[in-house]
Amino acid sequence: MSLALAGTLHAALSLNEIVAKYPDIPRLIIIKTDVQRRGIHYTERALSIVDPAIHQIRSPYLFGSRDGAIKPLPESLLLRDGTTIFVDPTPLEQNPYQVDLVEGRLALVDNGEVVEFVRLWEKPLYYDQKTSSGIPMSHIASARPQRLNIFQSSYCHFWAEQKGCRFCDIVNHNKQQKHELGVPVRLKPEDVSETIREALKEPGRFTNICLTAGSVLKGKDLFDHEVDYYIETLLAIGENFATKKFPSELISSAFNEKQLIRLYEQTGIMSYTSDLEVLNEEKFNWICPGKADTLGYNEWKKRLIRAVDIFGKGNVGTGLVGGVELAKPYGFGSENEALEATFEEAESLAVNGVTTFFIVWVPRPGSDFRGQQNPSLEYFVRLASGLHQIRAKYRLSIDFNDYRRCGNHPDTDLSRLL
Amino acid sequence: MSVQLSDELVSLLHDRESIKLLATTDESGTPHVVAKDSIHISEDGTIHYLEHLESSRTNHNLVRAIWFDRRVSIVIIGTHQSFQIKGRPLEVHITGPLFQKHYAEVRHRLGDVDLSGVWVIEPLEVINENPEIRRQEEEKRRPFFRHLDRLAKPLKGI
């Protein structure tokens, strides 16, 4: 029996028990969280109604899936409240939810019971186009239901020094993507500009553009080259807008004040995220050795706080890989201890105008943490609820990264009503 | 259980001159009622409401309704008729063909406006709010609910 399956079987409370125990948390968000936690498997019946002309098939992404394969399966799912489930195909032995065809509709099924009906993501029109340089536009910008992702460079310099984050598979996955699909490792600004121009021709399709990439350590100041490259790409994107600023998010390394001012003043970017990944210095040092060695936990935090003066309160955030704080062998010993530490740190950031959100940790086969088990559903529900409550307490907006403009954070799904 | 709407009600919903009100409730149960001309009936018998503003109170209340299984109410008022529909939000389209169809249509009709979502509301109960019909129903079902003077014999000579 795999570690993952063993972990699933001893989970403390079932989905229905969690729904009953937390009546203030919407059942749909709890379902989303559990589906992200456990993954999905498409049955043959479900796949029989997938039409690549209509539905979005898995396109290039920064990180790999938990089956370690690149297969032409549906990109992902939507719930009836508009909540996105961003979820990977998962080997059956890890006990994922099944996506099956029930009464002519796709449904999430667990132990033979229909949990909820779902819809597939629709393919944007630009996915059928190529750039003038001959690259499929789906390789330049990956679509979510309402967002465009630009992964401008898929190499992370921390990996070159064997100091990549332990949950991350970016370089391994992107080698695989380049080899199997021919996805460029580094995007040219003119290809990005052309792709965005094509995407904007579809009315009502997108509300946000997100740029992210691996860390680039080179430059006069640390990360200067990373900043230069983002500015170049953002200026290319900006050619397509009538306004200087456009709804957008940059997820990058923790830049210094001078770099942040350059980014904000020279480009159309409206929000800034730099991921601490785990809110505890000791765990950070173990889990993110590259980030720890270059800047360190406290400087990373300080830079986030300084970014609020430039981007404004509610426009600066930090992302966590929720659950890695419990990874073996040096993670927290209990879920309560992990939550307490995380909330304390999230609050110290919120006081200073920085909002914290998380993705559900998926132990990917291309990462150092492969084969580990992510925490219980109850842990993730409590984490989502706690981070949402901190955001509400400090009146921090999450408009740049909410259910619609991102869709990958259970806690920001809850903040839809802020 | 979903109910089928009468032809009279369907035609009232189609009529652009009808007044349409949407009532929702907030977190504390306080009602919020607004006039909405973007309510219409779809081919499958559900009611579609086009929400233009992501942050509106109505939109937030509809999200609460779909999350926590709350009901909403729609009142349609014509020249001589009035109906109330009790319903529940089944789904909201924030993307996809139905959303994009309405997005293009509202922008064509109203200019530079946005669209947040297309809410699908299942009708669960219909009440004919015509005052005369309501009075007749009450007198038939609740014969005690009337003042005696209305039943008194007319006095001779008056």
DSSP codes, A300-345: HHHHHHHHHHHH-TTSEEEEEEETGGG-TTTS-SSHHHHHHHHHHH
**Which residues of A are less than 8 Å from B115 in CB distance?**
204
Cα–Cα distance for residue pair B34/A404, rounded to 1 Å? 25
With beta carbons less than 8 A apart as the criterion, state whether A364 and A64 touch: yes
**In this structure, what token pair is assigned to residue A165?**
């984050």
Contact B94 A146 (CB under 8 A): yes
Q: Is the ipTM of this complex over 0.85?
A: yes
Residues B42-53 have pLDDT tens digits of 999 999 999 999
Interface test with A, best of B94, B113, B114, B121 (most A CBs within 10 A): B94
pTM of the model: 0.94
How far is Cα A413 from Cα B76, in angstroms, rounded to an integer? 33
**Residue A173 near residue A233 (C-beta atoms within 8 A):** no
Rounded to the nearest angstrom, the minimum Cα separation between B75 and chain A is: 24
> A153: which residues sit within 8 A by CB, 6+ positions away?
A185, A186, A187, A213, A214, A216, A229
pLDDT by residue, tens only, chain A of 418 residues: 344 344 444 457 999 999 999 999 999 999 999 999 999 999 999 999 999 999 999 877 667 777 777 788 999 999 999 999 999 899 999 999 999 999 999 999 999 999 999 999 999 999 999 999 999 999 999 999 999 999 988 788 898 888 999 999 877 777 776 777 777 778 999 999 999 999 999 999 999 999 999 899 999 999 999 999 999 999 999 999 999 999 999 999 999 999 999 999 999 999 999 999 999 999 999 999 999 999 999 999 999 999 999 999 999 999 999 999 999 999 999 999 999 999 999 999 999 999 999 999 999 988 999 999 999 999 999 999 999 999 999 999 999 999 999 999 999 999 999 9
Please say whether the beta carbons of A66 and A39 come within 8 A. yes
Domains of chain B, CATH where assigned: 7-129 (2.30.110.10)
Nearest to B60 among A27, A28, A417 (CB): A417
Taking an 8 Å cut-off on Cβ atoms, the answer to whether B95 and A78 are in contact is yes
Domains of chain A: 3-120 (no CATH), 125-417 (3.20.20.70)
Residue A279 and residue A356: Cα distance in Å, rounded? Answer: 10
**Which residues of B, range 43-62, sit inside 8 Å of A by Cβ?**
54, 60
The alpha carbon of residue A145 is apart from the nearest alpha carbon of chain B, in Å, by: 6
Distance from CA of B35 to the nearest CA of A (A): 22
Q: What's the token pair of residue A12?
A: 């403390």
Q: Which among A78, A203, A417 has CB closest to B100?
A: A203
Q: Which residues have a Cβ under 8 Å from the Cβ of A225 and sit 6 or more positions away?
A: A216, A218, A219
State the count of interchain CB pairs (< 8 A) between A and B: 50
Closest chain A residue to the Cα of B26, Cα to Cα: A417
Residues of B in contact with A28 (CB under 8 A): 66-67
* Chain A residue closest in CA terms to B99: A204
Chain position carrying tokens 């125990």: A21
B21 to chain A, closest Cα gap in Å: 22
Task: Using an 8 Å CB-CB cutoff, list chain B residues near A119.
Answer: 96
* pLDDT tier for residue B98 given thresholds of 50, 70 and 90: very high
A72 Cβ under 8 Å from any chain B Cβ: no
Distance CA A285, CA A309 (A): 27
Cα–Cα–Cα angle for A329, A331, A335, rounded to 5 degrees: 125
Q: Would you call B68 an interface residue with chain A, using a CB distance cutoff of 8 Å? A: yes
A205 touches chain B (CB under 8 A): yes
**Inter-residue contact B3 to B12 (CB < 8 Å):** no
Q: Which two tokens stand for residue A203?
A: 């009315």
Note whether B117 contacts A81, CB cutoff 8 Å: no
Identify which of B66, B68, B104 has the shortest CB distance to residue A204: B104
Q: Which residues of B touch A121 (CB under 8 A)?
A: 95
For the record, the structure tokens of A54 come out as 């209509």
- Chain B interface, mutation test: which of A75, A80, A126, most B Cβ atoms within 10 Å? A80
- Which residue of A29, A81, A204 is in closest CB contact with B103? A204
As a whole number of angstroms, the distance between CA A287 and CA A299 comes to: 17
Identify the pLDDT of residue A11.
52
A283 close to A331: Cβ distance less than 8 angstroms:
yes
The bridge status of strand A84-85 relative to strand A77-78 is: antiparallel
Query: Could you tell me how many residues make up chain B?
Result: 158
- For chain A, say whether B103 makes contact (Cβ under 8 Å): yes
